[in-house]
Amino acid sequence: MHAGQIRLIHHRTRRGALQLLLMFFFALGLISLLLAIDIASVYTVRAQVRAASESAVLSAGLTLMDDRRLLPDPQVRAMLIEAALHAGQEVAVANGLQGSSGAQRGSAATIEFSLDFAHSGGGRELESRIPDLIRGRGYRSNATGNGIPLVLPGLLSMGPFDLSVESVALIDRDIVGFRPQPGRTVPLVPLVVRSDPTGIAAQSWESMIKDTSQDRFAFEPTNFGFLENQADGLPEVALSLGANTIPLLLNENAEVAKSIASGVDTAALSSSGGEIWSMTPEQRIRLMTAEDLQNRQAGLFDSLELVRQSGEARIWPLTRDSLSPGGYIQITGFVAARIVRVEAGSQVRAWVQPAALSTSTAITLRDVGFDQRRTLGMIVPNPYIAKVRLFQ
């Protein structure tokens, strides 16, 4: 074999090796591209399913924050749970998920719900309690015929990919205070109400809330109004300005009537650091003087009437201190209530009915640091107010 033949064979060998190398890198690039497409597809579907399931569990949680949850009735409990699951399913379907009971073959993810308890329930019987945790599991799987078809596994004759995402909503009732948000005021009526946890003081919230003989109105959520002579198990509480309730001066430059009508903003709370807390001895707030109370009754009545017409549930602060006009009090707790009726005479009187309210402006134990938790002591879950949030 002469030198020319040897060079030709060597050239062909090099060209063949180069072709094999190019084919290898082409195959590697193709696999990488298909893998990237599959990963992007999985992440896109996962994000869609997570967003849909989170919206669904939040909707279910908000539905459970119904006034009727204050009634220790097993039938009411069952009705609210059914309504919450239905609301969650509706939102899930609207966002492209389908209920597990109607699971069909196709591209839509399936969602399942379960409800559980996060708190001890404050002494109420288990069968009459409302769950605090709502879990939604959105999934696509081969078992239900809606797994995610991927390109690369498909080329290898492998089945669709299974995916499962769990979202949890928490009805957080460990309320310690409230903080306004940008563009959102605290739905708080700055009228402090007399409180007596023992229920002995006749004019206290706790005493009047036990008087079921005062139950003559029922809230009608469709029209945000009250139906007279239709008891609903939630008694009306009579609040009289100057007697068992008196306006707070959160900030002496803030207009109390405006805060009653529109909620409490950061400016009104500037003297307390932009927040309002309970169970903190250092935060004492001055009450409106008797002279101011007399001069501003018309404005206070108009503001309370605006809240009544809205049918909205509002937060009312409680105190065990003496309601001495012009004096200082410490807020010891909060309740939520809707205004049923307002009357003006020698003094303004408002009849309110307990309500269940969820607000993102609430500060709970999960929002504060460990050191603050220690200074707050034992927190009793608030039966009236909660912060419905995604559980992290």
313-347 in b/e burial notation, b at 16+ Cβ within 10 A?
bbbbbbbbbebebeeebbbbbbbbbbbbbbeeeee
Whole-angstrom Cα distance, residue 325 to residue 187? 24
Confidence of residue 355 (pLDDT cuts 50, 70, 90): very high
Q: Of 330, 337, 299, nearest to 316 (Cα)?
A: 337
Would you kindly state where each structural domain of the chain is located, as residue ranges?
A: 3-172, 175-390
User: Between these two residues, 76 and 96, which has the higher pLDDT value?
Assistant: 76
9, pLDDT greater than 90? no
Q: What is the pLDDT of residues 237-262, one digit of tens each?
A: 999 998 899 999 988 777 899 999 99
Q: Determine which of 140-154, 208-222, 352-366 has the lowest per-residue pLDDT on average.
A: 140-154
pLDDT of 124: 43
pLDDT for position 155: 63
Mean predicted confidence (pLDDT) in 114-119: 76
pTM of the model: 0.84
Please write the tens of the pLDDT for every residue from 45-59.
788 888 989 999 999
pLDDT at 98: 76
Mean pLDDT of 374-391: 87
pLDDT at 154: 58
For range 270-278, the mean pLDDT: 88
pLDDT at 271: 83
Lowest mean pLDDT across 24-28, 211-215, 322-326, 368-372: 24-28
Assign 126 a pLDDT band (cuts: 50, 70, 90): very low
Q: What is the pLDDT of residue 141?
A: 76
How much is the pLDDT for 123?
43
pLDDT the model gives residue 156: 61
What's the mean pLDDT in 264-293? Answer: 89
Q: Is the pLDDT of residue 336 over 90?
A: yes
pLDDT score recorded for residue 347: 87
Pick from 78-82, 343-347, 367-371 the range whose average pLDDT is largest.
Answer: 78-82
